[in-house]
Structure 1
Amino acid sequence: MKLHQLEALVASADAGSIRAAARALGLSQAAVTRALRELEASERLPLLIRAPEGIGFTEHGKVLLTHARLVLNQLAHAQSDLERLRGRVEGRLMVGVTPWVALTFLPEAVLLFRKQMPEIRLELFEGLMTVAQPLLRDGSMDFAIGQLQPSAGVQEFACEPLLTYESSVMVRAGHRHERASSIHDLLEDDWVLNFPPDGLAGLVDYLFTRHGAQIEERRIVRAQSVAMLQTMVEHADMCTWSPTILSRVPPFGGRLGPLALSERFEPRQLSIVSRRNSTLSNAAVCFVECFFKVLRSHARSGKRDDLALFETLSLLI
């Protein structure tokens, strides 16, 4: 297994065809085809599915593709670190961020990072950890700031806890049930929730079933973004469940409010999540340190806004 063969494999997957992969790599189509055939021959496994409309991958090919991406991304990180030691700060950093962090501490952390590493090409990816996990797995994403799903393999990802945060059932100001005292009062309402494709059953159990409540799943709308969730809560009178801190910051503050329900929801943990046994680049380490600094600064602040935020958070660092 050679580096140019892995590059041909990844380029073919990204481009969708060998011809397009050749253009992307600046090679002849024959050279890319030869590299792929040599890779299949050396591994003694079928890796590609060739068809007139393009190429696909066998199960063997998909497994190798994941590792190939990881190898190439790790080499890119190594090259970036070496360039920094030579005095040239270049490279790319991709960070996954859970939505509520994007609305609170992220902007300040980014500004601090940009002052320290202005040459780094920074890419921010907002989304749930289930969306970020495949990108962490293949090395495309350096690390994520979020909550690792319980179903994720603990042997695959490493977590560095940052803080715990409260979550609440919330409705818009003026909602007919804004004084509800139990989840049972809300079973005839429509709900908008943010969850992974396979996460509805677990979420229904967490919010309703374990409290002896039964809700019709047709009442639950899945929102793919925080903006969509906000719109449905404010303009369609839906209930939602989300980090309580959202009720303290724009654009939610004063417009959405947590309900004082008798049912309790355990604090959730926010962590730095990375691929286990991988090495964070210097840029990634710098970004994490900037984020730590911002968190500590706000946690120690006596300003009214910061005190309101940390009524719902508990720092672990």
Structure 2
Amino acid sequence: MKLHQLRALDAVARLGGIRAAAREMGLTQPALTKALRELEDANQLKLLVRGHRGASLTDAGARLVVHGRAIFRELEAAQIEMLQMAGDKGGHVSFGISPMLGQVIIPEAYRAFRTRFPNVRLRMHEAFTRETIAWVADGTIDFAVVLLLGSETSANITTQPWFDVDHKVVGRLGHPLGSRASFVDLHAQEWLITNASGGGQFDLLTRLCAENGMALPERIIEIPSLNLLQTMLHNTDAVAISPILTPEPSGNKAQIIECDAVHGLRRQFGLIRKADSQLGAAAEAMRDEVFRLSHQIMQNLRVQDAKK
């Protein structure tokens, strides 16, 4: 397989036909058709189905396009890293971060990063673990710092645990339950979670209920957006399970509701990245800032806890 052949297949996949693909690549239709046939011959598989309305991918063709796009991204990343090592501070970095962690550290991480890489384009994703695995695996993002579920099993990703975070039940300031409640009273509340199909808060809530001999609460609202979830938390009597990353949860608009039956809710946060590639200089710099600031806030929390 050759790079120009993969680009030809990708162009046909995106544009839906030989003529449009040839025009985009600046080739004649016979030249593009030859490249595609050589690619099919090299793989001994039919990659395209040609018809009066254009061309469509076979299953093999669709799989090869996915691999080809990963190759294009790796090649672009290599080119950018070489330019950065040669003194060019351009390029781009794309990464994902847990929304709660991002709220606490991203502004400072951004400022530190910009002093070293003023011209690098940044793309930041509010990331939850399950979707992040796919983004890292296919090269959509360079890395992610999220809750590690312990089930990250993609063949081409690797994880690196960074720190443990305690989780607590939280409600709005002035919640009717006050600052302490029984688990029976907590269980009767409406619960807000980001994913009702498993992982993260759902797994913690499931464990809590099982440990206390109860089924899941009858009223659960799934909100896969941190901003919307926090809006509901701050303005209703619903409760949620939240990672505790600052002494005052949720920007002084929420409070911890202690419960003797709620304990040991600790989960691990860490890095997810591709196993078969290295981060570029700019991506490494952003990763290092996120690492430094994450550990700094955890140290601050330990100091605060020691003073209580």
Instruction: Mark yes or no: TM-score above 0.5.
Output: yes
- Corresponding residue number in structure 1 for 2:275: 276
Contact 1:192 1:240 (C-alpha < 8 Å) held by counterparts: yes
Following superposition, the deviation at residue 37 of structure 1 comes to 4.2
Following superposition, the deviation at residue 294 of structure 1 comes to 3.2
Cα deviation, 1:267-312, whole Å, max 9, x if unaligned, reads: 2112121011211111111212223343455566xxxxxx458658
- Picking from 254, 258, 261, the partner of 1:260 is 258
Contact 1:96 1:141 (C-alpha < 8 Å) held by counterparts: yes
Rate the CA distance shift 1:157–1:296 in 2: closer, same or farther, 3 A: same
- Corresponding residue number in structure 2 for 1:212: 213
Instruction: Provide the rounded CA distance (Å) in 2 between the counterparts of 1:46 and 1:310.
Output: 63
TM-score (norm 2): 0.83
Following superposition, the deviation at residue 230 of structure 1 comes to 1.0
Indicate yes or no: 2:79 matched with 1:73: no
Contact 2:97 2:126 (C-alpha < 8 Å) held by counterparts: yes
Rate the CA distance shift 1:221–1:33 in 2: closer, same or farther, 3 A: farther
Instruction: Provide the rounded CA distance (Å) in 1 between the counterparts of 2:132 and 2:12.
Output: 23
Instruction: Provide the rounded CA distance (Å) in 2 between the counterparts of 1:260 and 1:267.
Output: 15
Following superposition, the deviation at residue 43 of structure 1 comes to 1.6
Rate the CA distance shift 1:190–1:296 in 2: closer, same or farther, 3 A: closer
Rate the CA distance shift 1:299–1:244 in 2: closer, same or farther, 3 A: closer
* Secondary structure at 2:134 match in 1: helix
TM-score (norm 1): 0.81
Percent identical across equivalent pairs?
28
Q: What is the one-letter code of the residue matched to 1:205?
A: T
Q: What is the one-letter code of the residue matched to 1:266?
A: L
The two structures, once aligned, show a CA RMSD in angstroms of 3.2
Rate the CA distance shift 1:101–1:118 in 2: closer, same or farther, 3 A: same
Instruction: Provide the rounded CA distance (Å) in 1 between the counterparts of 2:69 and 2:214.
Output: 45
Instruction: Provide the rounded CA distance (Å) in 2 between the counterparts of 1:24 and 1:309.
Output: 61
Deviates more, 1:272-281 or 1:238-247: 238-247
- Corresponding residue number in structure 2 for 1:5: 5
Contact 2:179 2:255 (C-alpha < 8 Å) held by counterparts: no
Instruction: Provide the rounded CA distance (Å) in 1 between the counterparts of 2:180 and 2:19.
Output: 58
Once the two structures are superposed, the pairs formed by residues 130-279 of structure 1 within 5 Å of their partners are: 130-153=130-153, 155-195=155-195, 197=197, 199=199, 202=203, 204-216=205-217, 219-245=219-245, 248=248, 252-262=250-260, 263-279=262-278
Rate the CA distance shift 1:247–1:161 in 2: closer, same or farther, 3 A: same
Instruction: Provide the rounded CA distance (Å) in 2 between the counterparts of 1:209 and 1:54.
Output: 56
Q: Where do 5+ consecutive residues of structure 1 fail to align? A: 301-306, 313-317
* Secondary structure at 1:103 match in 2: helix
Instruction: Provide the rounded CA distance (Å) in 1 between the counterparts of 2:288 and 2:88.
Output: 21
Indicate yes or no: 2:21 matched with 1:22: yes
Instruction: Provide the rounded CA distance (Å) in 1 between the counterparts of 2:60 and 2:241.
Output: 40
- Corresponding residue number in structure 2 for 1:315: none
Following superposition, the deviation at residue 82 of structure 1 comes to 1.5
Contact 1:195 1:222 (C-alpha < 8 Å) held by counterparts: yes
* Secondary structure at 1:81 match in 2: helix
Between Structure 1 and Structure 2, whose CA radius of gyration is higher? Answer: 2
Following superposition, the deviation at residue 90 of structure 1 comes to 2.2
Following superposition, the deviation at residue 253 of structure 1 comes to 2.6
Contact 2:133 2:154 (C-alpha < 8 Å) held by counterparts: no
- Corresponding residue number in structure 2 for 1:303: none
* Secondary structure at 1:82 match in 2: helix
- Corresponding residue number in structure 2 for 1:100: 100
Following superposition, the deviation at residue 49 of structure 1 comes to 6.1
* Secondary structure at 1:75 match in 2: helix
Instruction: Provide the rounded CA distance (Å) in 1 between the counterparts of 2:54 and 2:186.
Output: 50
* Secondary structure at 2:263 match in 1: coil
Instruction: Provide the rounded CA distance (Å) in 1 between the counterparts of 2:152 and 2:206.
Output: 19
Contact 1:94 1:142 (C-alpha < 8 Å) held by counterparts: yes
Contact 2:196 2:202 (C-alpha < 8 Å) held by counterparts: no
* Secondary structure at 1:139 match in 2: coil
Following superposition, the deviation at residue 226 of structure 1 comes to 0.8
Instruction: Provide the rounded CA distance (Å) in 2 between the counterparts of 1:292 and 1:24.
Output: 46
Contact 1:191 1:220 (C-alpha < 8 Å) held by counterparts: yes
Indicate yes or no: 2:117 matched with 1:117: yes
Q: What is the one-letter code of the residue matched to 1:291?
A: V
Q: What is the one-letter code of the residue matched to 1:254?
A: N
Contact 1:187 1:214 (C-alpha < 8 Å) held by counterparts: no
Q: What is the one-letter code of the residue matched to 2:254?
A: L
Q: What is the one-letter code of the residue matched to 1:260?
A: E
